[in-house]
Amino acid sequence: MPQTLRSSGIPFLDDVPWGSHLCVFYETQDDLIEAAARYFEQGLDSNELCVWALPAAISADDVAARLDHQISDFDRHLADGRMRFVTQTEWFPHEAATALAESLWSGLVDEALTRDHAGLRAGGDAAWLAQASDDSAARYDGVIAQRLAGRPALALSTYDLTASRGGDVLDIARRHGLTVARRRREWQPFETPSWSTAADLEDALAAMAASIPGHDLLTDRERMVLRFLLRGASSKEVARDLGISPRTADFHRANIIEKLGARNTADVIRRVLIRR
């Protein structure tokens, strides 16, 4: 397959080769739809078959109405089948995920070529994968990489920042490589250091935290608590590991939020991982 570059439509990612797996973290539903509009508009303009696996909280009718205001001739693309929506269950099957994913991806690429499209451009919200207790996310990403290799297809995985833990965000960004964030109508590049061990991850989180405004105001204990929070630890888990009471852990958490000028714990994590 020729190494043809395709416009991703996503700022900071620019042109990417066929076979690329992109990742966008988003903060609000508007951010998600804006990112999807930019991504799929380029695909429709380039004669690609576009498929979006919608998050459970968004209906196809609502998305169609929103995209119709952002993409020229969207109704025609939808009616002609060049743009289609599928359910999250179809895109990210919980049972026999690997086998079903392979079948889904192969079938869509073949369909795109049969219908004389240049290729396939697909996207789906993968928040539940990030929260899975097993290695479902890594397995599924591996399947996508295999299905994309040597074929005219692009994939976009989107993740809700408000539902992602610090360590998860870094893991996701490392697996995808081509990663940006869309936060309250602003695009932000995402750079993550490489690591191969838990200690490397710990050092990466600490280094990223140290670079944000207000970090110098934290006490040594608060910085220690912050590192636990970035890994998604609860107050009870912080208290257990540090040998303090949950109430004291909550006290440190509140101080961290105030000193960093954040709204809540989730906002603290976002400030550290994707700096303003």
Determine the number of helices (DSSP H) and then strands (DSSP E) in the chain: 13, 9
> Residue 27's pLDDT is what?
86
CATH tag, 198-273: 1.10.10.10
> Residue 186's pLDDT is what?
84
Angstrom distance (rounded) from CA 119 to CA 174 = 26
Angstrom distance (rounded) from CA 82 to CA 94 = 27
Predicted TM-score of the model (pTM): 0.67
Structure tokens at 5: 């570059």
Q: Where are the domains of the chain?
A: 5-189, 198-273
Class of domain 5-189: alpha beta
> Residue 120's pLDDT is what?
94
Give, for all 276 residues of the chain, the pLDDT tens digit: 445 789 999 988 888 999 888 889 898 899 999 999 999 999 999 999 999 988 878 889 999 999 999 999 999 999 999 999 987 666 655 544 444 455 567 788 889 999 999 999 999 887 655 555 555 556 666 667 777 778 899 999 888 877 766 656 666 766 666 788 888 788 887 655 444 444 545 565 666 677 678 888 989 888 888 888 876 677 888 888 888 888 998 999 899 999 988 888 877 877 776 654
